[in-house]
Homo-oligomer: A and B are copies of this chain.
Amino acid sequence: MYTGKKITRVDAYDKVTGRTKYTDDLCDKGAYTAKILHASIAHGKVLSIDTSRAEKIPGVVRIFTCFDVTEKHYYPTAGHPWSADPDHQDVADRLVLTENVRFYGDDIAAVVAEDETAASQALRAISVEYEPYPFVLDVQEAMKEDAPQIHEAYPGNLLKHTEIQKGNYEEAIKEPGLTKVEGWYETPAVQHCHIENFICFAQMEGDRITVTSSTQIPHIVRRVVGQALGLEWGKIRVIKPYIGGGFGNKQDVLYEPLCAWLCLQLGGHLVKLDMAREETFVCSRVRHSIRSHIISWVRPDGTYAARRLEAFSDQGAYASHGHSIAAKGAGAFAQLYPCENVKVDAYTVFTNKPAAGAMRGYGIPQAMWAVECHTQDVAAKMGIDPIAFRRKNLMPKGYTDPFSKNELYYDTFHQCLDKAMAEIGYEQKFSAYQNQTGDIRRGIGAAVFWYNTAVWPISLETSSCRMVLNQDGSLQVQLGETEIGQGADTAFSQMTADVLGVPVSQVHVISCQDTDVTPFGTGAYASRQTYTAGFAIRKTGLLLKERILTYAQELTRMPSYNLDIIDGKIVRITDGRILMTLGELSTQALYSMADSQHLTAETTSQIKSNAYSFGCTIAEVEVDIPMCTVRLLNIVNAHDAGTLINPALAEAQVHGGMSMGFGFGMSERMIFDEKTGRTLNNNLLDYKLSTFMDHPRLKSVFIENPEPTSAFGTKALGEPPACSVAPAIRNAVLHAVNVPVNEAPLNPHRLFQRFTEAGLL
């Protein structure tokens, strides 16, 4: 058994030695460089663009403006599977270049040059004449009747209104003796800050166009590039090399359409588009800033009678994933603490800001901020221990969601809380930190999270896999599910090794997807990799094994059901005797003069299940009141992600997620200039990303309840670690200083304001 073991990452050596090839490494040096001219107003119309000076700069090949986009193929960018149902298709609101500026940074022209210097010089030499319109940056302001209108098709700037109605909220709140607890909670726009900025290059072969891209979703990029160019999808080929992080930003189709379009305009010449960090901040995607208003009606016994959520999700200028992110957060609100009477209204609203899209957690970090800050507030108001209050109200074992049919099979929340509390010494610290005085105070706080794996039944879940046996008994595995730094290839190798009965060193997962030959799979998102690919690996592996043993029967005269593959050898199970190695079998099969067979297998698995992942964070902080700083002393994440395929990689996933959650809670936010709509901190000097230097020792513990719907007992672990860190820190600060800080992040500016309001300063 290789699953469950701490196998070294299959790509460790190459990554550590710098041998791994990323997109830029693969681009021929003869490529043209493309650079984008971004709008310098937040809202308006491009009246004219003067490129005459720019065109004279040596090395400039061509300049294309929004006025050159004569065939208007609007396309969506969200990395969702295509839906045959038009009502379920993503919003197609993008053009490769636009004359309708909707945010400061919108794409209005592109320079193609022989080198980067010429391209940059040309950008500066272009003059643009705009007709500026009023713009709106605040999500609730954007909903007002007189607000500037950003998309014609969406009056009131409302991209989506998500409603959940359960029971009768209005009637339920009339129950006598209820305590009303109300709060507003808000999270900022933050950026993914993957190390490798977005980059892609495109060139033509024959009448087809090949796009190599730093993406999480090659097969989806293929479809969207086809839509954006008005070409049949089979005319597009997308290649995904190793990527330097994505975190959901590369679950959007970013500039692949523009790059491919430029290539097409230039007769198929190789064109590279390499985003700068400043552009990545503003012109890729950000996490939705969400403002939530929660009202809870609590009975004296500490149970919920009715709950109300209004959420305002700031979509920015383009639709991207917006409609589904608020929906996911709303679902979490309704399910995490089940209550008979629930009313949710989530509004996803356009503003003149950078477009928001998928980011690790997909709405759940924002929802958990609101819900878990609020839960703490409710417990406080009711005078109930916050852990006890959660235990009482959380989704109980056996809970089944009527829509997804998801079931909670284990007493997982109690297990996670118990293990995390024991790890950090919660009880003792919780008591010790009560009623402190002085400038420096400590606190401990918890937050739980809910996360469901993969996207069924909202969207399609499908994963195909192909396996190819080599002469030496080793094999290649091809999947559309992608390695994006998380270690998916290693997990896939372990699963394959176990299904087939071969040493893990004999499994070669083809890391690079090529839509021409890679089986269809939609890519890395929704924490679906090990869950969905697991089905495809298991089904394909078993089919290949059956073919191998059938051939072994030809060679050995033993019926295949008396044979097995163990450690890469064909074993007669009746007496355990090794009959031949898998390599010997494969070589004989391939080169047989009697019956030559190239042993391979390929299958599609459609996944019609989904699985709840759960867990919690407990954070211990020290607050320096005069300095308005918070120091994280200890932190632990507990996860029930089902069976772990590779505990070392699982731990690494959790550590990374905790770091992102830490930044989200403590320091990260994008700041926009009210006067211009410009992003003021579009770089890693002005935007305070959480790094190793900020971390305490990150602790993770696991409850491995095997998920019965899953091929290998696994469920989501990629995104969950980022979901409950920020509210746990906030709750710890509340514990320390008794000041609720309802807007993330808890940076010194905000603490100064809140501490001042609270009279601590």
**In the complex, are the beta carbons of B460 and A234 less than 8 A apart?**
no
Chain B residues within 8 Å of A234, by CB: 470-475, 506, 508
A352 within 8 A of B: no
A369-398: CB near B (< 8 Å → 1, else 0) gives: 000000000000000000000000000000
A592 at the interface (CB under 8 A from B): yes
| Cα distance, A588 to B82, chains bound together (Å) | 10
Most B CB contacts (10 A, CB to CB) among A233, A471, A598 go to: A598
Bound-state Cα–Cα, A460 to B588, Å: 12
Q: Please, which residues of chain B bring their CB within 8 A of the CB of A450?
A: none
The answer on a CB contact under 8 Å between A604 and B597 is yes
Asked whether, in the complex, the Cβ of B604 is within 8 Å of the Cβ of A602, the reply is no
* Bound CA span A83–B600, Å: 21
CB distance from A73 to the nearest CB of B (A): 15
When distances are taken between beta carbons in the complex, the residues of chain B under 8 Å from A205 are: 14, 19
A7: chain B residues within 8 A (beta carbon): none
Tell me if A590 and B462 are in contact (CB < 8 A). Answer: yes
**A462 and B588: CB pair below 8 A?**
no
Give A184-226 interface residues, CB cut-off 8 Å to B.
203-208, 223, 226
- Contact residue among B10, B464, B596 (Cβ-Cβ distance under 8 Å from A460): B596
A591-B84 in contact given A234-B506, A520-B598 (Cβ < 8 Å)? yes
CB neighbours (8 Å) of A516 from chain B are 468, 476, 508, 510
Could you tell me the distance between the alpha carbons of A430 and B135 in the complex, rounded to whole angstroms? Answer: 93
Nearest opposing residue in chain B for A464, CB measure: B598
CB distance from A456 to the nearest CB of B (A): 9
Asked whether A693 is an interface residue with its Cβ less than 8 Å from the other chain, the reply is no
Task: Say yes or no: B591 contacts A460, CB within 8 Å.
Answer: yes
Q: Of B457, B476, B604, which one neighbours A517 at CB under 8 angstroms?
A: B476
Q: How far is the CA of A510 from the CA of B81 in the complex (A)?
A: 25
Asked if A174 is an interface residue, CB under 8 A from chain B, the answer is no
Question: What is the CA–CA distance of A28 and B588 in the complex, to the nearest angstrom?
Answer: 37
Indicate if the CB atoms of B592 and A84 lie closer than 8 Å: yes
Chain B residues, Cβ within 8 Å of A418: none
Closest to A469 in B: B234
Pick the contact of A206: B11, B268, B590 (CB < 8 A).
B11
Asked, given contacts A604-B596, A604-B597, whether A588 binds B84 with beta carbons under 8 Å apart, the answer is yes
> What's the minimum C-beta distance from A465 to chain B, rounded to whole angstroms?
10
Complex CA distance for A83 and B508, rounded to whole angstroms:
25
Residues of B with C-beta under 8 A to A84: 587-588, 591-593
Interface residues of A in 138-197 (CB under 8 A from B): none
The answer to whether B606 touches A596, judged by C-beta atoms less than 8 angstroms apart, is yes
The size class of the interface chain A forms with chain B is 35 or more
Which residue of B14, B235, B472, B519 is within 8 Å of A598 (Cβ)? B519
* Interchain CA distance A468-B518 in the complex, whole Å: 9
- Which residues of chain A from 4 to 55 have a CB within 8 Å of any chain B CB? 10-11, 13-14, 19, 25, 28-29
A478 at the interface (CB under 8 A from B): yes
Supposing A83-B591, A84-B588, A460-B591 touch, asked if A223 and B471 sit within 8 A by C-beta, the answer is yes
Which B residues are in CB contact (< 8 Å) with A606? Answer: 592, 595-597
Are A472 and B233 within 8 A (Cβ)? yes
Kindly report which residue of chain B lies nearest to residue A269, judged by CB atoms.
Answer: B19
Give Cα A19 to B510, complex, Å. 27
Asked whether any CB of chain B lies closer than 8 Å to the CB of A554, the reply is no
Residues of B within 8 A of A203 (CB): 19
- Which chain B residues border A600 with CB–CB below 8 Å? 464, 466, 519, 602
Least CB distance, A501 to chain B, in whole angstroms = 16
Tell me if A232 is interfacial: C-beta within 8 Å of chain B.
Answer: yes
- Interface flag for A583 (CB, 8 Å): yes
A233 touches which of B208, B233, B471, B593 (Cβ 8 Å): B471
In the assembled complex, the Cα of A235 lies from the Cα of B473 at a distance in Å of 11
Copies in the complex: 2
- A226 vs B587: C-alpha distance when bound (angstroms): 14
* B590 contacts A268, C-beta separation under 8 Å: no
Which residues 262-291 of A have a CB within 8 angstroms of B? 268
List CB contacts (< 8 Å) of A618-648 with chain B: none
Do A208 and B508 have beta carbons less than 8 Å apart? Answer: yes
Residues of B within 8 Å of A587, CB to CB, are 82, 84
Q: Which of A375-426 contact B (CB under 8 A)?
A: none
Given contacts A234-B471, A234-B506, A472-B232, contact A593 B517 (CB under 8 A): no
Contact with B along A222-245 (1 / 0, CB 8 A): 010010000011110000000000
Asked if A583 contacts B232 (CB within 8 A), the reply is yes
CA A474 to CA B232, docked complex, whole Å: 9
| Residue in B closest to A511 when the chains form the complex, CB atoms | B205
B residues less than 8 Å from A478 (CB atoms): 517
Chain B residue numbers with a CB within 8 Å of A473 are 234
Distance to closest chain B CB from A80 (angstroms): 11
Contacts of A470 in B (CB 8 A): 233-234
Segment 457-513 of A: residues with Cβ below 8 Å from B: 457, 460, 462, 464, 466, 468, 470-476, 478, 505-506, 508, 510
Chain A, 554-613, CB within 8 A of any chain B CB: 583, 587-588, 590-593, 595-598, 600, 602, 604, 606
Shortest Cβ distance from A12 into B: residue: B206
Residues of B within 8 A of A604 (CB): 596-598
CB-CB under 8 A from A206, the residues of chain B are 10-11, 13-14
Q: How far is the CA of A35 from the CA of B587 in the complex (A)?
A: 35
A82 touches B506 (CB 8 A): no
How far is the CB of A121 from the nearest CB of chain B, in Å?
Answer: 25
- Whether A462 touches B517, Cβ cut-off 8 Å, given contacts A81-B591, A206-B14, A587-B82, is no
* In contact, B506 and A510 (Cβ under 8 angstroms): no
If the complex has contacts A29-B29, A204-B19, A472-B232, are A591 and B82 also in contact, measured as CB distance less than 8 A? yes
Residue of B with least CB distance to A231 = B472
**Per-position contact with B for A724-735: 1 when CB-CB < 8 Å, else 0?**
000000000000
What chain B residues lie within 8 Å of A588 (beta carbons)?
84
Q: Is A596 in contact with B232, judged by CB distance below 8 angstroms?
A: no
In-complex Cβ contact of A268 among B19, B28, B235 (8 A):
B19
Contacts known (A84-B592, A597-B604); A510 close to B517, Cβ less than 8 A: yes
Contact partners of A597 in chain B: CB under 8 A: 604, 606
Chain B residues with Cβ below 8 Å from A592 are: 84, 460, 606
Cα A606 to Cα B598 with chains together (Å) = 10
| Sample of 12 further A-B pairs with CB below 8 A, known A460-B592, A517-B517 | A82-B590, A234-B508, A457-B593, A460-B593, A460-B596, A464-B600, A466-B517, A466-B600, A519-B598, A520-B598, A600-B602, A602-B602
19 cross-chain CB contacts under 8 A: A10-B206, A11-B206, A81-B591, A82-B590, A82-B591, A84-B587, A84-B592, A84-B593, A208-B508, A234-B470, A460-B591, A460-B592, A468-B516, A468-B519, A478-B517, A508-B516, A510-B516, A519-B598, A597-B606
3 nearest A-B residue pairs (beta carbon): A234-B474, A234-B470, A232-B472
